[in-house]
Amino acid sequence: MTVRPVYLIGFMGSGKSSVGKMCAGQLSVPFIDTDTLVEQKAQQSISDIFAEQGEDRFRDIETAVLQNISREPSIIATGGGIVERERNQKIMDENGVVIYLHADFATIANRLQVDSSRPLWNQDLQKRHALYEQRLPVYRRWGQHVIETDDKGLEETVQTIMNVIKQV
């Protein structure tokens, strides 16, 4: 495997946390989730941070935790909005390999239909869709590798990521 961290990027529900954890297990490297680090740093859930401190403050904490993650080999699941701050691209590009997990909006809507822990998913359909459309080109630009997940289950997505990692 690459001697550098692997950063998974993609929209909410693209599978970064679930497949990231599985990949790290197979590779016996640490699994790191920026959302978890943000919650630990703020001592609050993501929903509470958004409600009480606002999205801008959430983004500040997110960039700070991204910057501070060890540069040892690991699998890092980023938050879906990591592309909201330009600086995050520089941090990831300089330190590791960036893999974009793509899923169509319909696939995501299907995966997240019962979810209420994501404040930006928990808004009306038009806004969610606009957010998706706005971010899509950014994920594609930032991803050094792109993995299509629509027609893949968790296991198959993990195997595809492993194949990419073997080659970098």
Pick the binder of ligand SKM from 36, 104, 111, 119 (CB under 6 A): 119
Per the annotation, does 28 bind a ligand?
no
Neighbouring C-beta atoms of residue 70, cutoff 10 Å: 11
Residues 4-43 that bind ligand SKM (CB under 6 A): 12, 35
CB neighbour class for 127 (10 Å; exposed up to 12, middle 13-18, buried from 19): exposed
Size of the site for ligand SKM (CB under 6 A): 9
**Shortest gap between Cβ of 155 and ligand ATP (angstroms)?**
9
To ligand SKM, the closest distance from the beta carbon of 123 in angstroms equals 11
Spell 41-60 as b/e; 16+ CB within 10 A means b. ebebebeebbeeeeeeebbe
Q: According to CB under 5 A, which one of 14, 17, 34, 149 is a site residue for Mg ion?
A: 17
The pair of structure tokens assigned to 59 is 């983004």
Q: Which residue reads 């960039």 in tokens?
A: 63
**Residues binding ligand SKM (CB under 6 A):** 12, 35, 46, 79-81, 118-120
Please report, in range form, the residues annotated as the binding site for Mg(2+). 17
Please report, in range form, the residues annotated as the binding site for substrate. 35, 59, 80, 135
